[in-house]
Amino acid sequence: MGHRPRRTVGDLDGGRPMRPTPSQTVGPFYGYALPFRGGGDLVPPGHPGAVSVHGYVYDGAGDPVPDALLEFWQADEAGNLDGRPGSMRRDDVDGSFAGRDGVTFTGFARVATDLGGHWTLRTVRPGGPPYIAVCVFARGLLHHLYTRVYLEDAGDALLTSLPADRRATLVAAPERDGVFRFDVRLQGEGETVFLDLG
């Protein structure tokens, strides 16, 4: 093999000095490793009392975000926040993802949006205050965002502290029996209320 001359950054830009570039934003890379099979199914199909919550993630221009990731935490039907393990069980033999066991309620879900910006969660109504905590990861966000999905306006301290139009951004709309719609608007008109948990 012949000797190849060493190249410098200046060679790549025709010898002109390189200018600094803007900071890189987060993602979109969530679809490669973070979602897991059945990640939005806290309960199996046909589970008594199961509800579905679904919606879209929209950016400031009102366009759907096809590469967002949402994590959910919630209490079980009795209001317990035990946080039992089991959402991401591994097979003891080959280390592959084994899926949920279909019995243990972990209270944790992770869902990626599809190409149309849509996501779906199958769960139960949480006991106690009827909300599900949400963490949103999306392109352009250097820090993830926290919010809540209320399945009804229960009049808890957070909801009552907000003006009616802002409170509405936290309450899922019932579509039919056991199905709720909740859209996340990252900014702009109707922006979802996000919580500062820091």
DSSP letter string over 28-96? S-GGGTS--TTTTBSS-TT-TTEEEEEEEEE-TTS-B-TT-EEEEE---TT------S-TT-B-TTT--
Q: What CATH number has the domain bearing residue 67?
A: 2.60.130.10
Q: Is residue 195 part of a domain?
A: no
| Joined tokens for residue 84 | 């039992």
Calculate the dihedral angle through the C-alpha atoms of 183, 188, 189, 190, rounding to the nearest 10 degrees: 30
pLDDT of residue 113: 94
Per the DSSP assignment, residues forming a β-bridge with 72 are 109, 134
Q: Is residue 34 part of a domain?
A: no
Short-list 98, 91, 42, CA closest to 70: 42
Domain hosting residue 65, numbered range: 42-185
The answer on pLDDT for 57 being more than 50 is: yes
pLDDT of residue 9: 44
Q: Is residue 46 part of a domain?
A: yes
At 60, is the pLDDT very low, low, confident or very high (cuts 50, 70, 90)? very high
Q: Is residue 6 part of a domain?
A: no
pLDDT tens, position by position, 96-134 = 655 566 667 788 999 999 999 999 999 999 998 889 999
Tell me which of 5-19, 73-87, 156-170 is least confident: 5-19
In this prediction the pTM is 0.79
Q: Is residue 173 part of a domain?
A: yes
Q: Is residue 136 part of a domain?
A: yes
Burial of 28 (0-12, 13-18, 19+ CB in 10 A): middle
pLDDT of residue 8: 46
- Domain total for the chain? 1
Q: Is residue 123 part of a domain?
A: yes
At 138, is the pLDDT very low, low, confident or very high (cuts 50, 70, 90)? confident
Please give the DSSP secondary-structure letter assigned to residue 60.
T
Q: Is residue 8 part of a domain?
A: no
pLDDT tens, position by position, 23-53 = 444 555 556 667 777 889 988 888 889 999 9
Secondary structure (3-state) at 12:
helix
CB count in 10 Å sphere of residue 176:
7
